[in-house]
Amino acid sequence: MKKIIYIFLLYFFAVAVLPSCKNVQNEPRDLNTLPLIFDPQDLNATLAQQFLNNIYNYLPAGFNRIGGDFLDAASGDAISSLSNTSISYYNNGIVSSTTNPDPYFSNSYNGIRQVNIFLANIDKVPVPPTNLTRTITWKAEARFIRAFLYFELLKRYGGVPLIGDKIFSLDDNLQLSRNTYADCVSYIVSECDAIKGQLNLEPISAATNLGRIPRGAAVALKCRVYLYAASPLFNGGGIEGDATLKALTGYLTYDASRWQNVISAAEELIALNAYSLVQSGTTGYVNIFFQKQNTEVILAKQQINDFALETADSPVGYAVNNVQSAGRTSPTQEFVDAFSTINGLPITDPASGYNPLAPYTNRDPRLNAIVFYNGSLWLNRPGGVQTFDGGLDRPNMPSANQTRTGYYLRKFLADNSTSSSYSAQSHNFVYFRYAEVLLNYAEALNEVGRTEDAVTQLVLLRKRAGLQAGTAARYGIPAGISQTDLRNLIQQNDRRIELSFEEHRFWDLRRWKIANTELNKTLHGMQITKNSNGTFTYQVVPVTTIVFQDKLYHMPIPYTETVTDANLKQNSGW
Amino acid sequence: MVRIFKNIVKHDTMKKLRFLSITIVLCLIGLFASAQNRQIQGTVRDAQGPILGASVHEKGIRTNGVATSIDGKFKITLRGTGQVLVVACQGYTAKEVEVTGNTTVDVTLEATTQDLSEVAVVGYATVPKKTLTGAQSAVSGADIRENPSASLQNTLAGRLTGFISQQTLGQPGADGASFLIRGQSSLNGNNNPLIIVDDVEFSYDQFQNIDANEVESVTVLKDASQTAVYGIKGANGVLVVSTRRGKLGKPRISFRNDYALSQPTILPTYLDAYNTALLVDQANVNDGVTPRWTQADLDLFKNGQDPYGHPNINWHDELFKKFATQNKSTFDVSGGTETIKYFVSLAYIDQGGLTKDFSAGQGYDGNYYNHRYNYRSNINITANKNLEIKIDAYGSIGQVNTPSVYYPSTNGNKNDVFGEYGSFLALAPYAYPIKNPDGSWGYSNYQQSVTNYVTPNIIQRLTLDGYNRANSNNNVLSFQATQKLGFITQGLSAAGEVAYTNNYTSTIGLTRQNLPSYIYDPVAQTYTPAFANVYRLEKLGTNYVASSTQRRITANASLTYDRSFGDHHINALMLYNLSSYTTSLPITNINYSNYNFVPSTTLGTTARATYDYKKKYIVTVSGAYNGTDRFQKHFGFFPSASAAYNIAEEPFFKETIPFIDQLKLRGSYGLVGSDALASGQTYVYLQSYNPSGGNQAISFGETNGVSLPANNGIQEGTLSNANVTWEKSRQLDIGVDFGLFGSKINGQVDVYNYNRYDQLIGRGTVSAIFGQALPPVNLGRTNTRGFEIELNYHDRIGKDFTFNLRGTFSKSTNKIIFEDEASTLYPWQAYTGHPLGAQARYHFLGFYSAADIADPSVAKAAASVTKAGDLKYQDLNGDGVIDARDQAVSDVTNTPVNNFGTQIGFGYKGFSVSALFQGATGFDVAGSEEAIRAFSANFQAIHQQAWTPALGDNAKYPYLTSTRTISDPNFASDFWAISGNYLRLRTAEIAYAFPAKMIRKIGLQSLRIYLSGNNLYTWSSAFKKYALDPEAAYGTPEQVYPPQRVYNMGLSITL
């Protein structure tokens, strides 16, 4: 009896328990693997294309990407409406190698690695007979993004280690040294030149390729790299005493011919004949940013339509679907004052027609497109935006967020002047557009002494902006303007306004080497009092004082990098 | 009945006893006919009823003995001249009864709470405590049941050595403490001990829901000699729960009913509107802006003449009851015959919530609650004398309710009454009137303009917003058979076990949005809708999330050999174990985004052998060869060896130091592993390529802004580590067990030293130029050491007065030996050499005075933000600027170093009193944001002591400001981290058991009434300073449902 039971138990155990140990799916069988992604059988290259798509994600996000704020909130053009957000570290001087809000270091190298993996494997994927250039174009796109990421590093830190096509494994020596600034410039430029013929040629098919890297982007990147390289900070004007360090962050000596490179690159792009300024009266400027496809944008980050930007930046008195707008960005009075009047003359010019009692009338039409001021029309509210003291958009409640300057940022938002709520809109952050190339061109022309040629370029932009032509159709630019005056005009007016909040000014102030004056000052706002008769009294008041230390001309290499890679030299002053 | 009788007859010992007694009776009749010949009869019982099989013998004449029958009855004829009977039974304290002049005696035996004093639970078996060679600490179910807490682990604090627990939450159904055994050792954050309930692995959640009434004992296995049998899962210690099983005897039916009132251990009360407004104005003056509130406003807040324009609401009183209620009923039947023994129980607990019952009348229960049903059926079947079968079915069915108070916020969606209660922005005392004069729900202009906290009326939400409800359903079926294989060789037996666990959870919500409320203007007598276009109450909407099923299959097969050869005794175990776990929980994983029902299997073979000579010299070797499919190299070997020397058994010892009747020296050394990966990591050895997307998804070639499949992305994931393997711990433990004066005083002392190595940690020394996130590698090393003392003293004074004392003390310290840390700029920035979980902190020197601010040589955070009244920190690197480089890694963490408990108990006749004091020292707590920071949190008394020039360094809080400065609690400093040391009256019970004679008349076997409590009193400086519970989560950013103080009264009846 007991033997039978014993045997039965053994049998039961064998039948019930032992089989469960075999054929057990003990690890996931639904993983993507490298051979699956770069599949030699797949003519469609389905996953390989997705791998390339992802590489685009490493391009910077733009807009309010730094803790909810625009990078330009650290450029004197605006401040964050909130105190002590990370962007303010640039303004109050507490940036350090551990607290830099915008390092973009590991992200860039992460992207570069993905590019290198793509380049190393994509040739395994067959080329379809119907599209013989597919692989070539894709490789060029990936290489462009790699070059772009190197430029992101270069403008922040100066020269960084160039790793070529290397895909590191853990056995590799990672104690890399920085390449010089000159090395990096030539590398990026050579990459741009090498791929420009292989990229998607204009016109770009909107249905399939909109947002993919076009040929023009390579030329525009080259133009920008040359522009930075020719600028005072990098063109022999480095702040470092030590020659080795100086070579890492710029050229050792000045060379005027570097401006010529900018001119040729700009002319190369213009000669493509693929791009032009968007013209449609005074709304032309607005349309650049929310029409998905237009003739001016060379490359923008394609994103799904939404209204996150509207919610983040609209004045705080507007609530849509019970979500209060955050009004994150407060443009400064200095920025608003940089706008000329409608005739193109600065407001300090007695002939400009500027009226301090009605400061927002008869101004450069771009003012209305870029800034919300008291009275701007928005979401159909009668009387418009209320940034007067106690107004809906400046209620002066404690602990309530509101503008600190009397202005909110309007640029990039779809035109909701008369709509009842926000709707999903295209918000593609523009990396390169034709206007920038023209401005680069103008700046370089002026620097090599061709001042009147430069004026010609600026006039194109002023005209598009909707300014009045004025005398000799110079749109407010004085006849016979000197090189210095035109340089100031570009720096303080034309380039500043046209490219505002597109992450140019922050870097422009540095490359021009004027940050130590432009970012060492008290910034102002407008205090507006509503009088009992319905009129407003305007008073410019100081809002905050920002500081700039010379070491901030170059960003600190992140602390973790300098301790893990002993050969990575830290920039001067950090 | 007949069958039962037959079974008794079959019973071996019975047979012998009967044979013996009959023989002896016959002999004695013949030999000592002259001696007394008195027959005594009687009944032996315990608190629950008659005891079957108790032995009764005449004192001095061991041979003259009988056993009690099923009714507990016996008859004995006295042979000697003595007048004393000795009544004994295993599991009970033996008793001597004088029978002079009596022919009938009723004897009531007291259960020795300690089966535990004789038997120790070890992995997969029990062993006599005398031959135990390892370190463990155990508590009996009876002790646990003194604590009325609903979660099992909350009853353990202070009772076990080496057990460290922290209860951060008191929410019904979520109030289980987190716990560690001998502290933290693993750098990957996963230090949870293995929990084994009747040989089945349980999760924390499952463990929390075990009903205390089902528990026979809880044992903590601490050193390698105890845990090596669990091999790859043993390194964090093992907590073993044994449940109650039936004993031979008539069915005993027990009811127990507990009714309890609970209230928070601490829940801050906030300043009223007037005092809050004063502080707001004080801050505004400090910030140089116009004070928010004018004198007229302040007057109105103070005199309450404008309850709508200037409300002053005591939210504490509006929101919360004085007490929440808790109701617990248990019912169990146990008993057994020779063939079948059973323990069947049912339990129901209803834990109510602290918020008032606002939703009463809405047709649903929207308050916090926890409803839980527990059932258990433990059956032992003795099929024949060689085959024993156990069939257990048990589980819990629970429902946890939370009121919905959802509101969307750009600052993160909120849905927590307690978080909101503490938030100044959400619920200032003048936030809004609850109701308007016309009966509509109130709101205010003030609240409407608070950025990110446009929170609809809280009382309205509690009334109308519905609930969220989590259902869980945990069922376990276990089948076990043990076959004696005496026909092969004496002492050999084989056993097999299969258990299946199914834990299903789902949530349901009945909620609504857009609640209409109105801003009442008392001057114009107008009502303005608080929210645009919200005029009507929408209907409730249902959402249901079928969350997941977790399944676990456990299978064991074992051979046991237990035999004595004269003075030599051998006990050996060989066990094959398989545990396979599947779940669908979507777990964000570095290399795999979803478990997707891929089983996680651990399997292997475990062996243990113990040899003892005269129970004096004992050696145990054990080991496990087991593995997991989480690593490519599946299997590892985890050996341990331990030895003990019962020196008190030596004759010379007995002669020289007779009062020490037990002294055992023991030591163990072994290797155990941990296969636990850091949270979110699963298949570290597999390289994967993951989809990318979300908001960052690129969208090519579209004009309509809709994402196309072609635009999906895929990317290389975190690199894989093909060599990933388990963490290992070398554990040394040396201990002494002792008993003095007939073991009235007994205890144990243990010292241990653990070296944990091959720990899975992230690389800290690889440059980001590498371009990819790196997998965890087996590099980390830590050391944990400490000692534990356990002391028991129990005795009686006179006949009826008994008392007992139990003290436990555990000290556990740890430090990081290696964690692949890049060489730091300054030595104080290094974490290596400091305890696990240490934090870099500023050192507080005092408050900045105006003179400090003016003095450029005094270091400041940044010239533009530091003001007089800010916290002045030490400038460690002397560069004149306070920044992250001045934060030094601390040596005090949130894990207590010292844990102790003292239990005192008295008994006099039916009365008994016991109290357990428990405490912990050597740790820090801190609050931040809405828990303590002014303007985030509501204002409390401490804020009235904020820095002013007059207070200077006597201030208790930095100067009040609405802006963020270096003084903000988010900057870790030793100003904000305060000592968490506490002492708690954790459990107390006063009980009265009615005399058996009295209650038998009404047909009861026992009747006991008692008052008990949990967390009855706390001594803690954290309480006083910041109104923080010392067990709160470190740096807690908001108020949470606080742990509860429970006052309980109960009644237990046995039929």
Please report the pLDDT score of residue A167 as a whole number.
Answer: 95
Per-residue pLDDT tens digits for B554-565? 999 999 999 999
**What whole-number distance in Å separates Cα of residue B907 and Cα of residue B905?**
7
Q: Indicate if the pLDDT at residue B856 is higher than 60.
A: yes
Model confidence band, residue A92 (pLDDT cutoffs 50, 70, 90): confident
DSSP state of A485: H
Tokens of B1012: 């008990």
Compute CA distances B141 → B114, B214, B242, B244, B344, whole Å: 10, 8, 9, 9, 16
Model confidence band, residue A573 (pLDDT cutoffs 50, 70, 90): confident
Tokens of B479: 């089948």
* Cis bond before residue A203 (omega within 30° of 0): yes
Higher pLDDT: B960 or B861? It is B960
Please report the pLDDT score of residue B880 as a whole number.
Answer: 86
Q: Indicate if the pLDDT at residue B27 is higher than 60.
A: no
> Measured between beta carbons, which residues in chain A are less than 8 angstroms from residue B382?
none
Q: Is B452 on the interface with A (CB under 8 A)?
A: yes
Q: Is B389 on the interface with A (CB under 8 A)?
A: no
Compute CA distances B365 → B358, B359, B509, B609, whole Å: 9, 6, 12, 56
Model confidence band, residue B592 (pLDDT cutoffs 50, 70, 90): low
Q: Is B726 on the interface with A (CB under 8 A)?
A: no
Q: Which of A354, A321, A323, A316 is nearest to A338 (CA)?
A: A354
Q: Is B952 on the interface with A (CB under 8 A)?
A: no
Per-residue pLDDT tens digits for B524-567? 999 988 887 788 888 999 998 877 788 999 999 999 999 999 99
Q: Is B935 on the interface with A (CB under 8 A)?
A: yes
Is the Cα torsion angle A487, A488, A491, A494 positive or negative in sign? negative
DSSP state of A204: P
Q: Which of B514, B703, B768 sits opposite A206 (nearest CB)?
A: B703
Tokens of B189: 């954050």
Q: Residues B426-448: what's their mean pLDDT?
A: 92
Distance, in angstroms, between A111 CA and closest chain B CA?
7
Q: Which of A286, A265, A213 is nearest to A445 (CA)?
A: A265
Please report the pLDDT score of residue B12 as a whole number.
Answer: 46
Q: Residues B4-9: what's their mean pLDDT?
A: 40
Per-residue pLDDT tens digits for B280-294? 999 999 988 888 899
Q: Say what the alpha-carbon torsion angle A137, A141, A143, A149 is, to the nearest 10 degrees.
A: 180
Q: Which of A54, A167, A322 sits opposite B714 (nearest CB)?
A: A54
Contacts of B381 (CB under 8 A, 6+ apart): B339, B340, B388, B389, B390, B391
Contact A16 B386 (CB under 8 A): no
Higher pLDDT: B97 or B15? It is B97
% of chain B residues with pLDDT over 90: 57
Q: Residues B842-855: what's their mean pLDDT?
A: 93
Please report the pLDDT score of residue B445 as a whole number.
Answer: 86
Find where tokens 């770009």 sit: A204
Contact A53 B531 (CB under 8 A): no
> Measured between beta carbons, which residues in chain B are less than 8 angstroms from residue A114?
715-716, 771
Write down the pTM of the prediction.
0.83
Q: Is B411 on the interface with A (CB under 8 A)?
A: no
Q: Indicate if the pLDDT at residue B29 is higher than 70.
A: no
Contact A564 B449 (CB under 8 A): no
**What whole-number distance in Å separates Cα of residue B200 and Cα of residue B204?**
13
**What whole-number distance in Å separates Cα of residue A272 and Cα of residue B356?**
73
**What whole-number distance in Å separates Cα of residue B761 and Cα of residue B776?**
5
Please report the pLDDT score of residue A304 as a whole number.
Answer: 79
**Which amino acid, one-letter code, is at A573?**
G
Q: Which residue of A has its CA nearest to B595?
A: A28
Distance, in angstroms, between A536 CA and closest chain B CA?
21
Please report the pLDDT score of residue B658 as a whole number.
Answer: 86
Q: Is A529 helix (H, G, I), strand (E, B) or coil?
A: strand
Q: Which of A109, A316, A395 sits opposite B769 (nearest CB)?
A: A109
Model confidence band, residue B706 (pLDDT cutoffs 50, 70, 90): low
Please report the pLDDT score of residue B111 as a whole number.
Answer: 67
Contact A210 B703 (CB under 8 A): yes
Q: Is B849 on the interface with A (CB under 8 A)?
A: no
Contacts of B398 (CB under 8 A, 6+ apart): B173, B209, B370, B371, B372, B373, B471, B472, B473, B474
> Measured between beta carbons, which residues in chain A are less than 8 angstroms from residue B483?
2, 5-6, 9
Q: Residues B972-996: what's their mean pLDDT?
A: 93
Q: Which of A17-21, A22-26, A242-246, A423-427 has the lowest mean pLDDT?
A: A17-21
Q: Indicate if the pLDDT at residue B650 is higher than 60.
A: yes
State the first-to-last Cα distance of chain A, in angstroms, to the nearest integer: 86
Return the half-sphere exposure (C-beta side, CA atoms, 13 A cut-off) of residue A500. 29
Please report the pLDDT score of residue B885 as a whole number.
Answer: 84
Higher pLDDT: B729 or A23? It is B729
Please report the pLDDT score of residue B112 as a whole number.
Answer: 60
Find where tokens 């039974």 sit: B89
Q: Is B659 on the interface with A (CB under 8 A)?
A: no
Angle between helices A434-447 and A257-272 (to 10 degrees): 150
Model confidence band, residue A12 (pLDDT cutoffs 50, 70, 90): low
Q: Residues B178-198: what's their mean pLDDT?
A: 92
% of chain B residues with pLDDT over 70: 92
**What whole-number distance in Å separates Cα of residue B770 and Cα of residue B764?**
12
CB B752 within 8 A of CB B785: yes
Contact A399 B962 (CB under 8 A): yes
Contact B481 A565 (CB under 8 A): no
Q: Which of A13, A17, A211 sits opposite B701 (nearest CB)?
A: A211
DSSP element (H, E) containing B297: helix B295-303
Model confidence band, residue A84 (pLDDT cutoffs 50, 70, 90): confident
Per-residue pLDDT tens digits for B100-159? 777 788 888 776 654 456 788 888 888 888 889 999 999 999 889 988 888 999 999 999
Q: Residues A213-222: what's their mean pLDDT?
A: 96
Contact B514 A322 (CB under 8 A): yes
Model confidence band, residue B8 (pLDDT cutoffs 50, 70, 90): very low
Question: Phi and psi dihedrals of A9, rounded to 5?
Answer: -60, -45
Please report the pLDDT score of residue B664 as a whole number.
Answer: 94
**What whole-number distance in Å separates Cα of residue A275 and Cα of residue B446?**
52
Q: Taking all residues of chain B, what is their mean pLDDT, rounded to a whole number?
A: 87
Q: Indicate if the pLDDT at residue B14 is higher than 60.
A: no
**What whole-number distance in Å separates Cα of residue A254 and Cα of residue A229?**
10
> Measured between beta carbons, which residues in chain B are less than 8 angstroms from residue A57?
692, 696-698, 713, 715
Contacts of A397 (CB under 8 A, 6+ apart): B292, B446, B449, B450
> Measured between beta carbons, which residues in chain A are less than 8 angstroms from residue B710?
49
Tokens of B172: 């019904």
How big is chain B by its Cα radius of gyration, in Å? 33
Q: Residues A64-93: what's their mean pLDDT?
A: 90
For residue B533, with 0-12 CB atoms within 10 Å meaning exposed, 13-18 middle and 19 or more buried, which class applies? Answer: exposed
Per-residue pLDDT tens digits for B996-1055? 888 888 888 889 999 999 999 999 988 888 889 999 999 888 999 999 999 999 999 998
SS3 per residue for B981-1035: CEEEEEEEEEEEECCHHHHHCCCCCEEEEEEEEEEEEEEEHHHHHHCCCCCCCCC
CB B359 within 8 A of CB B403: yes
Contacts of A249 (CB under 8 A, 6+ apart): A157, A158, A159, A181, A234, A238, A240, A554, A571, A572
Tokens of B529: 């809708």
Higher pLDDT: A21 or B829? It is B829
**Which amino acid, one-letter code, is at B222?**
K
Q: Indicate if the pLDDT at residue B416 is higher than 90.
A: yes
**What whole-number distance in Å separates Cα of residue B760 and Cα of residue B783?**
15
Contacts of A13 (CB under 8 A, 6+ apart): B496, B557
Contacts of B1004 (CB under 8 A, 6+ apart): B1053, B1054, B1055
Residue B501 region, left (φ>0) first, then alpha (ψ -120 to 50), else beta? beta
Q: Is B406 on the interface with A (CB under 8 A)?
A: no
Q: Is B824 on the interface with A (CB under 8 A)?
A: yes
Please report the pLDDT score of residue B864 as a whole number.
Answer: 52
> Measured between beta carbons, which residues in chain B are less than 8 angstroms from residue A547?
863-864
**What whole-number distance in Å separates Cα of residue B867 and Cα of residue B861?**
10
Q: Which residue of B has its CA nearest to A45?
A: B710
Please report the pLDDT score of residue B896 as a whole number.
Answer: 95
B 475-534 residues with CB < 8 A to A:
481, 483, 485, 487, 494, 496, 498, 514, 531-532, 534
Please report the pLDDT score of residue B354 as a whole number.
Answer: 94
Q: Is B700 on the interface with A (CB under 8 A)?
A: yes
Please report the pLDDT score of residue B114 as a whole number.
Answer: 47
Q: Taking all residues of chain A, what is their mean pLDDT, rounded to a whole number?
A: 90
Q: Which of B777, B781, B803, B779 is nearest to B792 (CA)?
A: B803
Q: Which residues pair with B348 in a beta bridge?
A: B329, B373
Q: Which of A383-392, A439-448, B11-20 has the lowest mean pLDDT?
A: B11-20
**What whole-number distance in Å separates Cα of residue A454 and Cα of residue A349?**
22
Q: Which residues pair with B140 in a beta bridge?
A: B217
Q: Is B673 helix (H, G, I), strand (E, B) or coil?
A: strand
Q: Which residues pair with A339 in a beta bridge?
A: none
Q: Indicate if the pLDDT at residue B888 is higher than 90.
A: yes
Q: Is B23 on the interface with A (CB under 8 A)?
A: no
Q: Which of A84, A94, A568 sits opposite B963 (nearest CB)?
A: A84
Compute CA distances A463 → A273, B63, B1050, whole Å: 20, 123, 89
Question: Phi and psi dihedrals of B808, rounded to 5?
Answer: -130, 140
**What whole-number distance in Å separates Cα of residue B269 and Cα of residue A343?**
63
User: Looking at this predicted complex, what is its ipTM?
Assistant: 0.87
CB B433 within 8 A of CB B307: yes
Per-residue pLDDT tens digits for B658-671? 888 889 999 999 99
Contact A28 B710 (CB under 8 A): no
Model confidence band, residue A321 (pLDDT cutoffs 50, 70, 90): confident
Mutate to test the interface with B, among A33, A83, A99, A304 (most CBs of B within 10 A): A304
Contact A304 B705 (CB under 8 A): yes
Mutate to test the interface with B, among A11, A15, A27 (most CBs of B within 10 A): A27
Mutate to test the interface with A, among B430, B451, B485 (most CBs of A within 10 A): B451
Q: Residues A201-223: what's their mean pLDDT?
A: 89
Please report the pLDDT score of residue B704 as a whole number.
Answer: 55
Q: Is B978 helix (H, G, I), strand (E, B) or coil?
A: strand
Q: Residues A533-552: what's their mean pLDDT?
A: 91
Distance, in angstroms, between B387 CA and closest chain A CA?
8
> Measured between beta carbons, which residues in chain B are less than 8 angstroms from residue A106?
768
Q: Which residue of B has its CA nearest to A93?
A: B862
CB A555 within 8 A of CB A157: yes
> Measured between beta carbons, which residues in chain B are less than 8 angstroms from residue A209?
700-701
Q: Which residue of A has its CA nearest to B451?
A: A400
**What whole-number distance in Å separates Cα of residue B367 and Cα of residue B468?**
10
Question: Count of A–B CB contacts within 8 Å?
Answer: 264
Please report the pLDDT score of residue A313 as a whole number.
Answer: 93
